[in-house]
């Protein structure tokens, strides 16, 4: 996989899968644009990217703030000329609440970040991709969006929307050179651990462990690469052969 000459925008790049994608793409030659609400950690990732001999523009950006998203994309395109790759990775997912106790505020917050954040970034970068006849959009969804997780109905619904959006949009833009795919992780190692290869045991997968940030980033980078030139409208599960649905 080679990314020389490519510009990649990754949301939620401060920790976990997003950080691993940023570092992997930078290592393979891409210029990166990183957006997150955790600016302190983002500055650290910028330093890690630079240590790899690459460059990163970083933005303190809440993906649910449409005006800020539009500013980030316009500013990055002005500075780097284009955005070839968009990885919609930022999301919220940690609340476990029975449906009957979920507030409408929480429902709205999950959709604002997980769905609307993906819509805003996609709307902002897609016109440039279509004009240039080249683009890769990878949406990070979840097995929750495929199977549904109890006590995470709002999260599951938001990721289901992301998967449906991926498939539908691909049908509009694939023939114009923009390939759109989703990846759906199962259980991933804690994003608070900076070791990209760390994992924990889990009974949720036949493989017996969580997936690592590096494993998830490898799949995302493959889909972002020219090697994946015949793949679009797919949702690829990366879940170690999930047991429970």
Ligand X SMILES: NC(=O)c1ccc[n+]([C@@H]2O[C@H](COP(=O)([O-])OP(=O)(O)OC[C@H]3O[C@@H](n4cnc5c(N)ncnc54)[C@H](O)[C@@H]3O)[C@@H](O)[C@H]2O)c1
Task: From 16-24, 46-54, 123-131, 223-231, give the range in contact with ligand X by CB under 6 A.
Answer: 16-24
Among 122, 142, 166, 212, binds ligand X (CB under 6 A): 142
Site for ligand X in 174-193 (CB under 6 A): 185, 187-188, 191
Write out the catalytic residue numbers.
Answer: 155
Give the DSSP H/E element, type plus range, for residue 144. helix 144-147
Task: Count CA atoms closer than 13 A to 167's CA, side-chain side.
Answer: 9
> What pairs with residue 7 in β-bridges?
31
Q: Nearer to ligand X by C-beta: 84 or 215?
A: 215
C-beta closer to ligand X: residue 84 or 213? 213
Total binding residues for ligand X by CB under 6 A?
26
Residues 186-225 that bind ligand X (CB under 6 A): 187-188, 191
Provide the H-helix boundaries in 196-240. Answer: 213-224
Q: How far is the CB of 132 from ligand X (least distance, A)?
A: 26
52 binds ligand X (CB under 6 A): no
- Of 16 and 135, nearer to ligand X (C-beta) is 16
Rounded Cα gap, residues 88 and 12, in angstroms: 8
Q: Binding to ligand X by residue 240, rule CB under 6 A? A: no
Q: Strands, DSSP E only, in the chain? A: 7-11, 31-36, 56-60, 85-88, 135-140, 178-185, 235-238
CB 176 → ligand X: shortest distance, Å?
26
CB-wise, 30 or 220, nearer to ligand X?
220
CA distances from 68 to 41, 52, 105, 120 (A): 19, 28, 22, 10
SS3 24: helix
Out of 7, 8, 15, 22, point to the residue binding ligand X (CB under 6 A): 15
211 secondary structure, DSSP code: B
Nearest CA-CA partner of 18 in 196, 144, 199, 240: 196
Instruction: Figure out which of the listed residues 32, 54, 89, 202 binds ligand X, where binding follows CB under 6 A.
Output: 89
> Out of 6, 8, 9, 18, which residue is the one contacting ligand X (CB under 6 A)?
18
As a whole number of angstroms, the distance between CA 203 and CA 20 comes to 24
Identify the residue among 27, 62, 106, 194 touching ligand X (CB under 6 A). 62
Q: How far apart are CA 77 and CA 125, in angstroms?
A: 9
Q: Single out the residue of 8, 9, 10, 16 in contact with ligand X (rule: CB under 6 A).
A: 16
- Strands 235-238, 178-185: parallel, antiparallel or unpaired by DSSP? parallel
Task: Enumerate binding residues for ligand X (CB under 6 A).
Answer: 11-12, 14-18, 36-38, 61-64, 89-93, 113, 140, 142, 185, 187-188, 191
């Amino acid at each position: 996989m080679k990314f020389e000459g490519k510009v990649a925008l990754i949301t939620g790049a401060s920790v976990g899968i997003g950080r691993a994608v940023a570092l992997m793409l930078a290592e393979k030659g891409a210029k990166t644009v990183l957006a997150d609400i955790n600016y302190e950690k983002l500055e650290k990732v910028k330093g890690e990217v630079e240590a790899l001999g690459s460059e990163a523009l970083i933005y303190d950006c809440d993906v649910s703030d449409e005006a800020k998203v539009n500013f980030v994309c316009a500013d990055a395109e002005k500075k780097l000329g284009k955005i070839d790759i968009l990885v919609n990775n930022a999301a919220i997912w940690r609340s476990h609440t029975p449906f009957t106790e979920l507030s409408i505020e929480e429902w709205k917050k999950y959709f604002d970040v997980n769905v609307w954040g993906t819509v805003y970034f996609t709307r902002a970068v897609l016109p440039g991709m279509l004009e240039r006849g080249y683009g890769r959009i990878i949406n990070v969804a979840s097995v929750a969006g495929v199977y549904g997780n109890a006590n995470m109905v709002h999260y599951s619904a938001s990721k289901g929307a992301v998967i449906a959006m991926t498939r539908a949009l691909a049908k509009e833009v694939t023939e114009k050179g923009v390939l759109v795919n989703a990846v759906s992780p199962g259980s991933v190692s804690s994003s608070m651990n900076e070791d990209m290869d760390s994992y924990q045991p889990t009974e949720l997968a036949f493989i017996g462990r969580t997936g690592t940030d590096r494993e998830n980033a490898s799949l995302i980078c493959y889909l972002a690469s020219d090697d994946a030139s015949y793949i679009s409208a797919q949702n690829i599960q990366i879940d170690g052969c999930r047991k429970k649905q």
